Amino acid sequence: MPLDGVAETAGAIRETVGRAQRDHAVATALKELRRADGYRRGIAAQLAREHGGNERTWQRARTEARALYQRGQGQDDTSPAALAAKPSP
């Protein structure tokens, strides 16, 4: 029985560490979006080169940061798919 408690604790620690790393990556991506005055192509690749790690990880962080950035700016989603879905006035 004690081993189950150890495994659960280890899982909780990994989850906490993983979330802290993700939060840090999102904060870094958000900082870059603000510096660039919004989204630009290649931010995830740039962050992967500068900070290390997998580009796909930075793409996820960038996506989350972009949503936060747009909420903070009061902007609508300006992705091509969102613009195509909007009716023309």
- Mean predicted confidence (pLDDT) in 50-70: 94
For residue 5, the tally of other CB atoms under 10 A from its CB is 9
Residue 15, classified by CB atoms within 10 Å of its CB into exposed (0-12), middle (13-18) or buried (19+), is exposed
Find, among 30, 70, 23, the residue nearest to 47 by Cα: 30
Lowest mean per-residue pLDDT among 17-21, 24-28, 35-39, 52-56: 17-21
- Could you tell me the two tokens for 62? 């960038």
Asked if the structure places residue 20 within a domain, the reply is yes
Residue pointed to by tokens 């904060």: 27
User: Where does the pLDDT of residue 4 fall: very low under 50, low under 70, confident under 90, or very high at 90 and above?
Assistant: low
Domain tally, the chain? 1
39/32 Cα distance (integer angstroms): 9
Asked if the structure places residue 19 within a domain, the reply is yes
Asked if the structure places residue 34 within a domain, the reply is yes
